[in-house]
Amino acid sequence: MNTPARLALAIPLALALAACGDTTEVDDRVVETDDVEAPVDVTLPKVDVEYPEVPLDARSTVQYAGTYELHNRDGQIDRITLGDDGTYTWIAPDGTEDTGEFTWGEDNSRILITRDGETNAFAVAEGVLYRLPEESAPLAGERSEETTWRRSHPTPTDGNQADGNQADRPSE
């Protein structure tokens, strides 16, 4: 490639780089210290997670009314509030709210919530709801935090079943 051709390519490139603007000064000073310690290997204690057993006839043996939360890995929270009167409120992480009535399964240890045309089955235990993969799934089995909704608030005693958070609000 001849010199005028090289120059014709280099000039626009140099102008483009110059137009990029601000440059930042770099502080290249080094601070030396003698009291730097090597990293310490930290072993965290193993924490046993409690998964209460689903009793026979949870409907009559478990205090199920209240608000349950599922904390997703991305930090979002789903909430279901169950009322003594068979009603539910399901609030999705985006704030979308569904309300309706839930039904009990034939074994009285699972509840069924039909939402968006899909039946969601939950096994009921003291302080938790376990999301089941399907309505006929066994109640016993492997548990995980990804399918365990934990009670966050009891149901208020004023008869308003729609929002378990009202127990924490000051009375008017």
Give me the domains of the chain, ranges plus CATH numbers: 65-161 (2.40.128.640)
For residues 101 and 161, the model is more confident at: 101
Query: What tens digit of pLDDT does each residue of 44-103 get?
Result: 788 778 899 999 999 999 999 999 999 998 999 999 999 999 999 999 999 999 999 999
pLDDT, residue 170, reads 35
Please state the pTM of the whole predicted model. 0.63
3-state secondary structure the chain: CCHHHHHHHHHHHHHHHHHCCCCCCCCCCCCCCCCCCCCCCCCCCCCCCCCCCCCCCHHHHCCCCEEEEEECCCCCEEEEEECCCCEEEEECCCCCEEEEECEECCCCCEEEEEECCEEEEEEEECCEEEEECCCCCCCCCCCCHHHEEEEEEECCCCCCCCCHHHHHCCCC
In the predicted model, is pLDDT for residue 118 greater than 50? yes
